[in-house]
Structure 1
């Protein structure tokens, strides 16, 4: 089974556990640490790195999240070493403006990966689970001079605040990332629209990535969207049949919703 053929719980802005000191509700997206997320079923991480002193720090916009990329990798490597049959998909992108760095984002990334290359799957194709076990599968949202380097979703391919396709030969990404939310009913419609596509699409070469996250208001308010959408998700997956729903990237994810999503890979839900 390809990873694109599964229902996979994920987190949006996985390292964002701290709010702006000036505006509440504008930066924090998760309650759980990366380690806790993995233990509670999250398998798709959305990691945002800022270049500082030729190293990666974890940011949400300008807000430093009090962890660095080394911490993220320590959580991931520890989890995979203890659970070698598992895999982690990691979307990685650059966040905010670089500071005191003369190395490219790719070069800094390589400096981390070269320390533990066997822990990474950097192929351009979406792997089957058997190949990916024990490794981090990279979804690359940054430019790379040397390829292949992960499943290509670089910034020139990723559309802003939109639903879109990325075509990489036989590999296809189908993404819903409409994060500016003026109406949560419309956002929910966008989410379940992609669920329906994934459920009815027999092409297992298509990786569905469905962001349930977003913000509302002129001053971004993340919890106002998450509170409503997370209730809808719980209700939806309590009664959903077995099938492929894709990778579902949530704000404030927790074990009960993760379990409902995971179960759609194995059992038929009954209302």
Structure 2
């Protein structure tokens, strides 16, 4: 799970090779971040727990270097700390680790922007603080200019080198944006791997991507291609959905944030490429 040194060529739109670890460097500062297409991951830290719980195969650092710019972070509130969980399963990391990896990446790649959903996961236990206070305590270890603290969705130039938190929890904060303000598609229950159930999921994903393509440029859209159930494990679902996504993305478009299980570099390439084409 080491660093990924991927490169992608945009010769068809007049660009030379682009390092995916800094692919946002040539996006105009004046673009609204809501006007971009950003590759993302669902349950970004879920690397353990077997086929019914694991959702990713790349470490967080590898995801960032491969071009992922939206991550989905789930924290349990336990003993006033924030271990990373997928349901009951501890993912051998804590929120402090997530922030350290993220800020370190942004230090080394100041042209980039990371969007991060933060959600409370599983049962809280043995706490004397609220979940929001525990998150704020972790965030306070970093300079405030490393996190987006402004009003509304930032322009690219305003947020370079920053973490933009999407707060999916109750309580006050000095940073970030409310997750509920996004236009979200997350129909994650897929009853089985039968073609009719995969098709139903794909239709909801495709419809929301088309909505993002055509909708208000000031709205931040988020589409989850992930799904699971007792008869459909995440890895099996993702194989089919990622294949459909790779064929779907094309040309100049705004797709919003696209969160995937077991993210693949070919899909990341296609999402990134739409931004370059839009700027060409």
TM superposition score normalised by structure 2:
0.83
CA distance, structure 2, for counterparts of residue 241 and residue 4 of structure 1: 18
Aligned-residue CA RMSD (Å): 1.5
Q: Runs ≥4 in structure 1, deviation > 4 angstroms?
A: none
Aligned length in residues? 242
Structure 1: where are the runs of 5+ without partners? 158-165, 167-172
Judged with a 3 Å threshold, the aligned counterparts in structure 2 of structure 1 residues 148 and 69 are, in CA distance, closer, same or farther, namely: closer
Alignment partner for residue 207 of structure 1, among 214, 217, 220? 220
CA distance, structure 1, for counterparts of residue 264 and residue 104 of structure 2: 20
Is residue 2:261 matched to residue 1:232?
no
SS of 2:115's partner is strand
Kept in 2, the 8 Å contact 1:176–1:194? The answer is yes
Is residue 2:243 matched to residue 1:217?
no
CA distance, structure 2, for counterparts of residue 251 and residue 139 of structure 1: 19
SS of 2:55's partner is coil
Structure ranking higher in helix proportion: 2
Kept in 2, the 8 Å contact 1:40–1:254? The answer is no
Aligned to 1:181: 190
CA distance, structure 2, for counterparts of residue 258 and residue 124 of structure 1: 29
Mean alpha-carbon deviation: is it higher for 3-12 or for 191-200? 191-200
CA distance, structure 2, for counterparts of residue 77 and residue 263 of structure 1: 25
Is residue 2:153 matched to residue 1:126?
yes
TM superposition score normalised by structure 1:
0.85
Kept in 1, the 8 Å contact 2:185–2:224? The answer is yes
Structure ranking higher in strand proportion: 1
TM-aligned CA deviation for residue 99 of structure 1: 2.1
SS of 1:112's partner is helix
CA distance, structure 1, for counterparts of residue 75 and residue 230 of structure 2: 25
